[in-house]
Amino acid sequence: MTTILYITANPKKEEDSNSLRVGRALVESIRQLDSQADIVEIDVYKQPIPLIDSHFLNARSRLAAGKSVAELQPEEQAVVRNVFQWTDQFIAADAYVFAYPLWNFGIPPMLKAYVDTIKIARKTFRYTPEGPVGLLSGKKAVLIQSSGDIYSEGPLKEFEHGSRYLKSVLWCGVHRGDSHARHGQRRRHGRSQPAEGADGSRAHRPQTVRCLSRRRRREAADV
């Protein structure tokens, strides 16, 4: 059975959010294509995603020095176990759908907090003399990002640190070439336009989005 994590980062109601509505359309389509798929939803604005604190930093140093979790101080063990439950859930999944808005050129802060739980040395990547190496392979991710302005081209191109950042983070082995974005909501002046890939190219729609029925594709593009 395929396990898919649907990770959302938006305090808005789904019906009020472009990214969440596109995300929901995609997840429903996946369900139709694979009724056996286990789709686990993680709303990082509702789940108790831990923030990195001094106990975690101390624990991180001790683990890097060769200590086991059982050898850590009780408060360090607690925070490590808390963080690692999110890491382990991420590792156990086969694919990921991220849906979030672009905020101040970047991802929402709770999504960054979630990222800090999945980028863990010796779990999702490891350091080698040649540099860091990803430990997750054979997994895929779709990024659904909604923004007010257009970043695929023009003067704002260099300011897009949302999907670009997440793609870098997913370097730990996840195939993140599949990305999907809703750009330029402010520039639409109420006019509906087809969805674009993160690079602005309609030819680079993610595989999963290409699998949508024509009706679903229209719905996804019209929100």
Ligand X SMILES: Cc1cc2nc3c(=O)[nH]c(=O)nc-3n(C[C@H](O)[C@H](O)[C@H](O)COP(=O)(O)O)c2cc1C
List residues binding ligand X (CB under 6 A): 10, 12, 17-20, 101-105, 146-149, 185
Containing 144, the helix (H) or strand (E) segment is strand 140-146
Give dist(CA 153, CA 159) in Å, integer: 11
- From the list 40, 157, 53, 161, the residue with the least C-alpha distance to 100 is 161
Nearer to ligand X, 32 or 104 (CB): 104
Give dist(CA 56, CA 107) in Å, integer: 23
Nearer to ligand X, 45 or 103 (CB): 103
Nearer to ligand X, 19 or 179 (CB): 19
Least distance (Å) from ligand X to the CB of residue 176? Answer: 20
Nearer to ligand X, 23 or 50 (CB): 23
Least distance (Å) from ligand X to the CB of residue 188? Answer: 10
Least distance (Å) from ligand X to the CB of residue 23? Answer: 9
SS3 (DSSP) at 132: strand
Give dist(CA 32, CA 14) in Å, integer: 20
Using alpha carbons only, give the angle 172, 175, 179 rounded to the nearest 5 degrees: 120
Least distance (Å) from ligand X to the CB of residue 38? Answer: 25
